[in-house]
Amino acid sequence: MNAAARVFDLGEVPRRKLNQALHEAADGDSFEVINPRGAHAVACGITADIEVVVRGSVGYYGAGMHQQGRVLIEGNASTGLAENIMSGEVRITGNATMSAGATGCGGLLVVGGNAGARCGISMKGVDIVVGGNVGHMSAFMAQAGNLVVCGDAAADLGDSIYEAQIFVRGEVESLGADCIEKEMRPEHAETVARLLAAAGEAAGEADPGDFRRYGSARRLYNFTIDDVDAAEAGARAAGGDSQ
């Protein structure tokens, strides 16, 4: 952190004043946030190439709608960490609850600890590295990007996944609809190696060779005539039961 960083104490100033200062910042500016005390929507919507360090835990939507620069949160985060991140970098040293990186279109999100349910839900190009475990239905309807999990994954991983890639070092409780294990080719190992290096300490001693790759079986992309017949038969049966 730059010695000239502006310091905002959220125990004394409103969060709105902090976010306004971040929105008005110029490239190269630095900020330090103390006493966040679980406040929601801290450091949201940053559009300049700035550095922000938050010394403590945050609530909902920390660093949401992030577009440029780097945010480091020294603590934990509640629902929606880095939701809709477009580019830049968001890091957290602790744990994140539900929906970390949801709908992210680009950039890098690093979770040093564990991430809860639906990590990377509907991700659209963001890279996410989790140093620990992820909760159930992570990467649900993930469309593009990479989710790297250095620990274990809970049930229904990658449910209804499109073209995102999932890499897991540990155990997977179960895979969701249309998600299958795929071959780990050299180019995928290179992707994992690049993201582990970018994650730094959060990735620990993880080796790209320890990861397995998961992605879409592409069975949900198109309907078949059998699907139509089954749907029509179900509709007829339901209509008969209601009469």
Kindly list the structural domains of the chain, giving each domain's residue range(s) and its CATH number in brackets, ordered by start.
6-242 (2.160.20.60)
Question: pLDDT tens across 94-148, in order?
Answer: 999 999 999 999 999 999 999 999 999 999 999 999 999 999 999 999 999 999 9
DSSP state of 115: B
Question: pLDDT tens across 180-199, in order?
Answer: 999 999 999 999 999 999 99
Please enumerate in sequence order all residues whose Cβ is within 8 A of that of 190, keeping only pairs 6 or more positions apart, or say none.
208
Please enumerate in sequence order all residues whose Cβ is within 8 A of that of 67, keeping only pairs 6 or more positions apart, or say none.
45, 46, 47, 85, 86, 87, 88
Q: Rounded to an integer, what distance in angstroms lies between the CA atom of residue 72 and that of residue 36?
A: 13
Average pLDDT on 147-153 reads 98
Q: Is 58 helix (H, G, I), strand (E, B) or coil?
A: strand
Give the predicted TM-score (pTM) of the model: 0.90
